[in-house]
Structure 1
Amino acid sequence: MKRAAFKMKLKPGYREEYKKRHDAIWPELKKLLQDAGIHDYSIFLDEETDTLFAVQKIDGKAGSQDLGKTEIVQRWWAYMADIMETNPDNSPVSIALPEVFYLD
């Protein structure tokens, strides 16, 4: 099992909308993530900077940020593009964070 962490940026004023959309995550997206071996996935918000911090455990070969070739992820990215900083393909600007400490 691997652990991955990354940060993304929410556009100002969209905290509630971001939470609302994730509270109603599409079942087919949830299934894709689970089938890929992604679990124990959390996203936290730094309310001072609108920075999102995500961490997930991965039993498969790829994390959530590696599933961008799938149609469902591309649709999710397009759905979220109006409230997040994104790349030209609508993927969220995502910066991987190296692990520097882990207490099991």
Structure 2
Amino acid sequence: MHGPYMDFHSNGQKQSEGQYSDGARSGLWTFWDANGVKTGETEFQGGNYHGKRVEYFPNGKQRLVEQFANGKRNGLVQEFSEDGKLVRQAQYRDDQQVAAK
């Protein structure tokens, strides 16, 4: 596969939208649940998570923000409560936690 891509839930709501490059997910992808609510955004490179990955609560606020490099968590990972307060924060290097608050 190569080029723009869209997938749909059985009820017709969009499930995902992104781009393929030489058969692998590439660039920014967006995901929705069956009710049309955005659940996440993920950056890909060569089919691996690469860049920022965000998961959302149904109210639209961020639930989880992670940084990836070549499929491994690298950098800051933040978890939030549904009202937007920071609950947990950790630093990762090569998918291993190196610090936490």
Q: TM-score range with shorter-chain normalisation?
A: under 0.3
More helix by share: 1
Larger Rg: 2
Q: Which protein, 1 or 2, shows the higher relative CO under an 8 Å CA cutoff with sep ≥ 6?
A: 1
Q: TM-score, normalised by structure 1?
A: 0.25
More strand by share: 2
Q: TM-score, normalised by structure 2?
A: 0.26
